[in-house]
Amino acid sequence: MKVAIIGGGAAGFFAAVHAKKNHPTADVTIFEKSKKLLAKVKISGGGRCNVTNGCTDIKVLHKAYPRGGKKLKRAFRTFSTPDTMEWFESRGVRLVIQEDNCVFPVSQSSQTIIDCLMMEANILGVEIEDSHGVKTIKRVGEQLELGFGAKHPAKLMDKVIVATGGSPKRSGLEWLEALGHKIADPVPSLFTFNMPDEPIKKLMGIVVEKALVSIQGTKLKGDGPLLITHWGMSGPAILKLSAFGARILSEMNYECKAQVNWVNEVNNELVLSELKQIVATQGNKILANYRPYLLPERLWHFLLEKSDLPLKKRWNELGKKGLNKLVTILTNDVYSVRGKTTFKEEFVTCGGVSLESIDFKTMQSRVCPNLYFAGEVMDIDGITGGYNFQSAWTTGFIAGQLG
């Protein structure tokens, strides 16, 4: 049996080693278009590779995927985060689960992950052909013919696993569309917000640990730490929002109003009673010197100025109007978003081969027998935290069964 894996990234390597392990007599070859193997693994997680996530509860885990979560829920029953950890650790890669549940190699170097995958492929006898970009796949009876353009002769294969990663443009998926697969238009996911007109940028570097950000006129929400940057806003709350809202935000051309709830409390009555409590107990203090919800000092002063409340005013001089102003700025502080910036630590593509074209029990195409998919080429993507690699390992593992 001749097996081709198209793409030498995380999903391609994992699919290849499992295909060879499950079918030791098969010829298994990875065809990689560039000269570099596992290039994204190398740069991942700022060079440290956030290889998976410490979450082991599948009911929670699948929610980290704005697209593909439902299908992955079933796939995780076959290969999930503890399996990933076990797989690497049993091959000598020591891993550490950080406080935020991100899992990294103890070496803090992505090269450790690359070495492990390369070694495994080598031990098992997986062939690797770099500089072999596949341009077409043609059905020839039960077999599949890979076309490489003028550079290399076409090759007939019995089974093919497509693991070509995310394509930023629809045109990059046309060769798969030509076989009958449905395509979800690709748009970027995991980005930060540009706010060119907002003075809050002068507070760059400030982090608010528990913020809630929503997009006016939509149901989109993202919570978690929010980081103010010199171009606008970033941090997990914004990244989550950008992932779940990838398609809607693209349709809005990344121009919208972000409503920031600095205290992550949607019940305004509760916020008001918290502020009244301050008036009752700290009423003699000036606003500048007593911060509600332990907000960072510079941010608190900024918010007071934005609400036209003098820093020197005393808490007990606020009155009903003043307190209401504060409730509004703390829970519904509006900023204009104009454009996005790529999050350099990690970005992925929303869209790709539509999941309705794939049988998730095997990862086999529903329209082209003997063709399988693994990784980001599919319409699957996760938020930051090692989830994207986990989906590559899970789908690569299943595709490698060649079932």
Q: φ, ψ for residue 40 (rounded to 5)?
A: -75, -30
Cα–Cα dist 98/196, whole Å: 34
**Cβ(136)–Cβ(142) under 8 Å?**
no
Q: Which of 44, 112, 192, 331 binds ligand FAD (CB under 6 A)?
A: 44
Instruction: Examine residue 178 and tell whether it contacts ligand FAD (CB under 6 A).
Output: no
Q: Which of 7, 68, 105, 188 binds ligand FAD (CB under 6 A)?
A: 7
Q: Which of 34, 216, 284, 316 binds ligand FAD (CB under 6 A)?
A: 34
CA distance from start to end of the chain: 13
Instruction: Examine residue 379 and tell whether it contacts ligand FAD (CB under 6 A).
Output: no
H helix intervals, 65-199: 69-75, 81-89, 110-124, 174-177
Instruction: Examine residue 246 and tell whether it contacts ligand FAD (CB under 6 A).
Output: no
Quick note: the x/- pattern for ligand FAD over 91-120, rule CB under 6 A, is: ------------------------------
Instruction: Examine residue 121 and tell whether it contacts ligand FAD (CB under 6 A).
Output: no
Q: Choose between 12 and 105: whose C-beta lies nearer to ligand FAD.
A: 12
**Cβ(166)–Cβ(68) under 8 Å?**
no
Tokens (6 digits) for 259: 């409503």
Cα dihedral 34, 38, 43, 44 sign: positive
Cα–Cα dist 151/193, whole Å: 42
Shortest distance in whole angstroms from residue 297 CB to ligand FAD: 33
For the chain, the C-alpha Rg in angstroms (whole number) is: 25
Q: Choose between 116 and 348: whose C-beta lies nearer to ligand FAD.
A: 348
Instruction: Examine residue 6 and tell whether it contacts ligand FAD (CB under 6 A).
Output: yes
Shortest distance in whole angstroms from residue 331 CB to ligand FAD: 33
Chain-centroid distance of CA 286 in Å reads 43
Instruction: Examine residue 12 and tell whether it contacts ligand FAD (CB under 6 A).
Output: yes
- Chain residues that interact with ligand FAD, rule: CB under 6 A: 6-12, 31-34, 39-40, 43-45, 49-50, 133-134, 163-165, 345-348, 375-377, 386-389, 392
